[in-house]
Amino acid sequence: MDLRSLSLLSVLRAPLWVLYWLSGFVPRDPNLWVFGSWDGVKYSDNPRYVFEYLHRQMTTMGSSKVPRVRWITSSREVKSTLKGLGFPVTERWSFRGMLDSIRAGVYVYCSTAHDINTWLSRGAYHVNLWHGIPLKKLGTYYPRDDGRSTSLIARVDLFGLRYGLRRPTPKVNSSIATTGEVARTYAEFFRIPVAHVPLTGFPRNDPLLQPRSDITQAEREFAHRVTKIRQEGTLVALYAPTFRDHETGSRSVPINWKKLSEELEEIDGYLFLRLHHVDSLTMPTELPPRIEVTPSTVDLPVILAHIDCLVTDYSSIYFDFILTGKPVIFYCYDLQEYVSRSRRFAYPYDEVAPGPHVTTQSDLVCELSKVRESNLVEWRASRTRVAETFHVHLDASSAQRVADHLLRLLIPRKASAFLENGGEN
């Protein structure tokens, strides 16, 4: 970005920076908590399940014992969906949305404060629940070979003036983790005491371990469709690769989609695709039979709960999926390039990726056929080992633990009343 562009950007952003500064002087209500995820365009991830849990408790126990919660979104589709489910929701820049955002005492999100509204967040208590166990190194941990960081947050820290003109980065006050090692990683990443990163588990894994009926219409339709496919004896797999920092625009993968369709026919398999929200693959305009892209409105835990096998590369989503005990196949065709040009791993990849590592389409199909035959039983012990290494809790109560922790920390009086009533689903 050249100096002229930076100057123009600073002028355009100036009123918002004034708004951000002023928002820090507005009295915050500790009993009002706002939630959001993924730049405000999705209803998903860890914030969703804490939000739903607290809303259920508020409905049964009343707002005198549980804080008022509201979902903030920039998507009219998300707003319509949540209104249909009876959840309190408002749009980011509506009058009600701005009022709630500038008055809320607690912000709960999974990426940055922009999941809700960064510009009205100064002075709130920020809870970043994040969105996965860090297989890759985070923040300033992973310098590239050329010495430049690939982390957005690290770039903001290193070049505060240049990137800060775009949007402020409020300090995170608290997070959550699945193990002590992960807690220490997040504490250093967010620059907070490790005591502020309790071992609660990830709330998004609750519906993975205990499927629920209170899901959206799109998720209900997807679950019904997958169940019908599986009832016919078909193996259902999900291909969920991560993005590449060094590749912009639509990238290609070494998959012949037409041939893959034919190979899936031979082994009676079906493949769903789920891309990272910043990723794009070069694919046919119309995918061949037995290959289908999952709707973006279906949250990932709902997908994972209904498939037989996960195919991924360097996405940390498999850390969640192994809680089901089902097999994972790692299609790591560009491992060395990924490490040298995108990101380095926080843990030895070979040791923490419990499944066959394949680099060609033919080997991928071969391993999928083995899933049908043996469920990759030879990897079962490794899957269990990794699951127990990266998850202290193997139950479906993480949302409750997060709510319990935050209430004890932020509203002790309400926490007492909450716990007296059991704090149960």
SS3 sequence of 237-301: EEECCCCCCCCCCCECCCCCHHHHHHHHHHHCEEEEECCCCCCCECCCCCCCCCEEECCCCCCHH
The residue among 321, 300, 301 whose CA lies nearest residue 310 is 321
Cβ burial of 417 (10 Å; 0-12, 13-18, 19+) is: middle
Q: How far apart are the C-alpha atoms of 407 and 415, rounded to whole Å?
A: 5
Query: To which residue do tokens 């009022």 refer?
Result: 99
C-alpha span between 191 and 174 (Å, rounded) = 10
The conformation of residue 118, written as its DSSP 8-state character, comes to G
Could you tell me if 87 and 77 are in contact, meaning their C-beta atoms sit under 8 angstroms apart?
A: no
Going across the sheet that includes 269-273, the strands are 291-293, 269-273, 235-239, 309-312, 328-331, 357-358
Which of 327, 421, 413, 405 is CA-nearest to residue 371?
A: 327
Any idea where the domains of the chain sit in the sequence?
Answer: 3-205+396-420, 213-390
pLDDT at position 111: 93
Out of 3.30.300.30, 3.40.640.10, 3.40.50.12580, 3.40.50.1970, which CATH number does the structure's domain 213-390 have?
Answer: 3.40.50.12580
Residue 262 is predicted with a pLDDT of 96
Under 8 Å between Cβ of 196 and 173: yes
Q: Name the burial class of residue 348, with classes exposed (0-12), middle (13-18) and buried (19+) by CB atoms within 10 angstroms of its CB.
A: exposed
122 in helix, strand or coil? coil
**pLDDT at site 157:** 37
Rounded to whole angstroms, the Cα distance separating 64 from 22 reads 29
CATH of 3-205+396-420, picked from 3.40.50.2300, 3.40.309.10, 3.50.30.30, 3.40.50.11820, is 3.40.50.11820
Rounded to the nearest 5 percent, the helix, strand and coil shares of the chain are 50, 15, 40
Nearest residue to 177 via CA among 335, 409, 390: 390
Whole-prediction pTM value? 0.88
- Write out the chain's pLDDT in tens, 425 residues: 444 554 555 566 788 888 999 999 999 999 999 999 999 999 999 999 999 999 998 887 766 678 999 999 999 999 999 999 999 999 999 999 999 999 999 999 999 999 999 999 999 999 999 999 999 887 543 333 343 444 444 433 333 344 445 678 899 999 999 999 999 999 999 999 999 999 999 999 999 999 888 899 999 999 999 999 999 899 999 999 987 876 766 667 889 999 999 999 999 999 999 987 666 666 667 889 999 999 989 999 999 999 999 999 999 999 999 999 999 999 999 899 989 888 889 899 999 999 999 999 999 999 999 998 898 999 999 999 999 999 999 999 999 999 999 999 887 765 455 445 555 54
Q: In what order do the strands lie in the sheet with 68-73?
A: 89-91, 68-73, 29-35, 104-109, 125-128
The per-residue pLDDT for 368 is 97
| Burial category of 55 from C-beta neighbours within 10 Å (exposed 0-12, middle 13-18, buried 19 and up) | buried
* CATH topology agreement for domains 3-205+396-420 and 213-390: yes
In which residue are the tokens 């709630």 written? 100
Cα(337)–Cα(350) distance, integer angstroms: 16
Work out the angle at residue 330's Cα, subtended by the Cα atoms of residues 218 and 282, and round it to the nearest 5 degrees: 60
Q: For 29, which DSSP code? A: E
pLDDT at position 220, please?
Answer: 94
> Residue 278: what pLDDT?
63
- DSSP assignment of 48-70 equals HHHHHHHHHHHHHH-TTTS-EEE
For residues 38, 41, 47, 50, the Cα torsion angle rounded to the nearest 10 degrees is -170
